[in-house]
Amino acid sequence: MQNWLNYHHLLYFKVIAETGSLAKASEILRVGQSALSMQLKLLEDRLEQPLFERKQKKLVLTEAGQLALDYARQIFSLGNEMLDTLSDGKEATVTRIQIGIEEGVPHYGATELLKHALDIPGTAPAVTHGAAESLVQDLVEHRLDLLLLLEPPHVKDKSILFQRRVLHAPLYAVAAPSFAHLKKGFPLSLGNQPALLQSPLSRPRHEVERFFHEQSIPLNMVLETDENILLKNLAAAGKGITFLTEGSVSHWVKQKELIVLGALPVSLELWLVGPKRKMLNPVAQKLLKEFSLD
């Protein structure tokens, strides 16, 4: 007797795993929830392994489920590749990669990562933005393949993740040319000046605040945002001073819309984070090995 696998069951499992919900999977597949639940049970019986466990009314992949999802993604990716190849009469490999980028990551850092990904033939990235904690959870639960974060992830078991710092760059105080007088006496001259800051949850914001506190420099925050482009626009409009890396403001400085007042003894870091899996997305694997902004 042949050792058959029902690929309809595997597809249903894949969609349930990626959405994290029977209800959402039911909408996508247009199959009733009870029928999906039955098909999932048949697959688990066939594999002789539970693929999900319920935690706080959520479906969470077991270790076997995580491995099965890796195989399912590879299987259906190869199926799509076969269809592309046979229908076009030529080889056409498309590798999809789900990338999570933390809110507050400089646009130039995210842009360089995506440029590097697109330089890999046949790569089709899909990008999700969000808070680090949520992105890490999606990575662990196999909904994302790679993360770009402002600091190493906070997880209990660090052995399940691979992480590498791809940027370590000092922060500069930058402002419109009308603030040029603050170069004299820097950094004490920044005291009580209008400050445009990043989100209170971001690592750079913490480092800037710590520096001002240690130097007993009064910090006068007038705005906070996750969007670095807003910080640059408002600083260029003369609304205050902001703190960014050289790479993120170099164009603005060349255009003389912003000037550098001085460097702070604090840095911005960016970290590339991926899962340790038996089957890793090939594009994620290549980026984890090669990508750097330093």
Q: What is the pLDDT of residue 158?
A: 72
Asked whether residue 11 falls in the same domain as residue 72, the answer is yes
pLDDT in tens, 86-110: 665 555 567 788 999 998 888 888 9
pLDDT in the model for residue 142: 78
3-class DSSP assignment, residue 5: coil
Number of domains in the chain: 3
User: What is the residue range of 43's domain?
Assistant: 1-93
Which pLDDT does position 143 carry in this prediction?
82
Q: How many helices (H) and strands (E) does the chain have?
A: 10, 10
Point out the domain boundary residue: 47, 72, 93.
Answer: 93
Query: What confidence score (pLDDT) does residue 67 get?
Result: 85
Query: What pLDDT sits at residue 81?
Result: 63
What CA–CA distance (Å, rounded) separates 133 from 36? 30
Fill in the amino acid letter for 1.
M
Residue ranges in the chain whose pLDDT is less than 50: 1
Nearest to 130 by CA among 109, 151, 101: 101
Strands (E), the chain: 52-55, 58-61, 95-102, 123-130, 146-149, 161-175, 194-198, 220-225, 241-245, 259-275
Q: What is the pLDDT of residue 85?
A: 58
CATH code of the domain covering residue 248 = 3.40.190.10
User: Are 32 and 44 part of one and the same domain?
Assistant: yes
Q: What is the pLDDT of residue 86?
A: 65
Considering only the C-alpha atoms of the chain, give the largest distance between any 2 of them, rounded to a whole number of Å.
84
Q: How far is CA 105 from CA 111, 112, 152, 193, 225, in A?
A: 10, 12, 13, 25, 12
Final residue of a structural domain among 93, 115, 147: 93
**Which of 68, 93, 118 is at the close of a domain?**
93
